[in-house]
Structure 1
């Protein structure tokens, strides 16, 4: 299991965190996601090789925010 922290732009509240977490956790290979709107980050635990950075970006964009690598 790999764990990585990404910057997420645009989150401002707990609802924002939940939206980002839910979208990421729907991805095949993602075990968990923990967003923090104060820090502007999300920590994702995932199986390397089963999910890509572009999938992470698309999921965060689906929630209405921007993932910054």
Structure 2
């Protein structure tokens, strides 16, 4: 397993978390997602290979937020 952490800006509520989770969970290989609007953190776990950072950043953007690798 590999986990990568991201800093997400613009999240303010549970709806934000759900929107991001819905987009990120569609990325192949993602097995776990932890997202917190309180801290602005997103942790993505994969099944072995490192997650594609560009895919995660694009998914977060699709949900309406901005992110960077923490």
TM-score, length of structure 2 as denominator length? 0.89
* Within-5 A mapping of 1:1-69: 1-47=1-47, 48-49=49-50, 51-69=51-69
Residue 5 of structure 1: how far off its partner (Å): 1.5
Q: Distance in 2 between matches of 1:53 and 1:11?
A: 19
Superposed CA RMSD: 1.1
Runs of 4+ in 1 over 2 A off after TM superposition: none
State the 1:4 CA deviation: 1.7
Q: Secondary structure at the match of 1:67?
A: strand
Give unmatched runs, 5+ long, in structure 2. Answer: none
CA deviation vs aligned residue, 1:3-57 (integer Å, no higher than 9, x gap): 12110011000000011111111110111211100100111111325x4110011
- List runs of 5+ in structure 1 lacking aligned partners: none
